Amino acid sequence: MKKRFSNLWFAFVMLVFMIMLSSAVFMMTIIFIIKRFTIIEPGQFHAFGFLAAVLLTGILTGTLITAVIGQKILLPISRLREATKEVAKGNFNVQLYENIKIEEFREMAKDFNKMVQELQGIETLRTDFVTNVSHEFKTPITAIEGYAALLQNSDLPAEEREEYAGKIISSTRQLSMLTNNILKLSKLENQEIIIEKTEFSLDEQIRQALLLLEPQWSGKQLDLEIQLAETGFYGSEELLMQVWINILGNAVKFSREYGNLSVTLTESPQNVSVEITDTGIGMTPEVQRHIFEKFYQGDKARASYGNGLGLPLAKRIVDLCGGRIIVSSKPGQGSTFLIELPRG
Ligand code: ADP
């Protein structure tokens, strides 16, 4: 609740009181000196003129004190004004002095500093995002340009022609996946709830996701262990499919040949849990800390087919469902992604 009489109000009242008191003391001192040392004989001065002179001096003294003290009190506001001007210009590198006696001004300075730090963080994220997006676009575009230029050579053997055309196709796919993911993520980030919900079979959906990834896992000859409890689920079928494809896709991508991939689906009246475990390259704690950041790729060498948006997308979808993703991993031993979803 807002305090009716704030400290600022108290400080203001005290200030006015102090000014009035000092003016009164000043006036009384003058009267005392005049009386004590009989500087003016009692009959010599006109009572009204004398009173006016003392009053005027009192007012002048009060104004002088207000000017001096007021300047000190209003200093934080002047500083805030200067700092706000800088922020308006786009300079987030400003901080206000926080060691102020009056609580309201001290809190205001602290809040302002916090706000500027947040803005600076958002600005960094924005510029990082733009840098990452342009970098991710540049690589396939450069490849397309380069291979298309090579294809212009009419003497090119058929084999090389085919190879270069293939490279152009895969770079185009990479670009299309990138734009798709950026669009999906920005759409999901602007969304707070899932509207299109239907009842569907979650175990069937996970089986379908595994089937879609069959060329990849059978290529690596992974040993699959699947235990899926029959589970009906009410939610967004399309969005959840994306979660399984991204997380299962990573489990396969970061697996070595002949590794194991286990997928378990269990349910309780409140939750459904999907556990995806691979025996692949695993992650260091440092990599684990960043995997949900946009464009983050821990292992650049293996991440060529991807753009660091798979896990941020999966996390955003799971967040929107009110669930969570728990990751445990050891470098060289493998990773487990546990996805818990509340029954909607
Ligand atoms: P991408 O797969 O396109 O690189 P993701 O956002 O899906 O992007 O993953 C981010 C990073 O997380 C990966 O580059 C990788 O370093 C790490 N990662 C994700 N899943 C696994 C996994 N199952 N095993 C090892 N590392 C993983």
For residue 303, the ligand 1 atom closest to its alpha carbon is: 4
CATH number of 198-342: 3.30.565.10
Residue having the nearest C-alpha atom to atom 11 of ligand 1: 297
What pLDDT shows up at residue 135? 85
Quote the ligand 1 centre to 177 CA distance (angstroms). Answer: 16
269 pLDDT above the threshold of 70: yes
- pLDDT tens digits along 107-129: 999 999 999 999 988 888 888 88
Q: What is the pLDDT of residue 250?
A: 95
For ligand 1, atom 8, name the residue with the nearest CA: 308
Looking from the CA of residue 334, the nearest atom of ligand 1 is 24
pTM of the model: 0.71
Query: Which residue has a Cα nearest atom 16 of ligand 1?
Result: 298
State yes or no: pLDDT of 271 exceeds 60. yes
pLDDT of 10 reads 74
Q: Where are the alpha helices (DSSP H) in 37-46?
A: none
Q: Which two tokens stand for residue 140?
A: 């396939």
Provide mean pLDDT across the span 56-70.
Answer: 79
Q: Higher-confidence residue: 156 or 275?
A: 275
Residue to probe by mutation, ligand 1, list 185, 254, 289, 316, most atoms within 8 Å of CB: 254
Q: What would the mean pLDDT of 92-99 be, rounded to a whole number?
A: 90
Q: Does 2 or 318 have the greater pLDDT score?
A: 318
For the chain, what is the mean pLDDT? 88
CA 18 to ligand 1 centroid distance, Å: 67
| Ligand 1 mean position, distance from CA 298 (Å) | 6
Residue 284 CA, ligand 1 centroid: distance in Å: 12
Q: What is 120-189's CATH topology?
A: Helix Hairpins (1.10.287)
291, 294, 304: which to mutate for ligand 1, most atoms within 8 A of CB? 291
Residue nearest to atom 19 of ligand 1 (CA): 250
- The residue with greater pLDDT, 169 or 39, is 169
Strands 334-342 and 198-201 come out as unpaired
CA of 340 to the centre of ligand 1 (A): 19
Give the residue, by CA position, lying nearest to ligand 1 atom 12: 291
CB distance 342 to 321 below 8 Å = yes
Yes or no: say if 62 and 23 are a contact pair by the CB < 8 Å rule. yes
The Cα–Cα gap between 148 and 284 comes to: 40
pLDDT at 167: 94
Protein residues whose CB sits closer than 6 Å to any atom of ligand 1: 246, 250-251, 254, 278, 280-283, 287, 291, 296-299, 303, 306-312, 335
Q: What are phi and psi of 279, to 5 degrees?
A: -110, 35
**211 confidence band (pLDDT: 50, 70, 90):** very high
pLDDT at 46: 64
Q: Which of 51-55, 92-96, 127-131 has the highest mean pLDDT?
A: 92-96
Q: Which long-range contacts (CB under 8 A, 24 or more apart) does 218-221 make?
A: 220/252, 220/255, 220/256, 220/257, 220/258, 220/259, 221/257, 221/258
Domain residue spans in the chain? Answer: 2-91, 120-189, 198-342
Distance from the CA of 301 to the center of ligand 1, in angstroms?
A: 11
- Model confidence over 228-256: pLDDT tens digits? 999 999 999 999 999 999 999 999 999 99
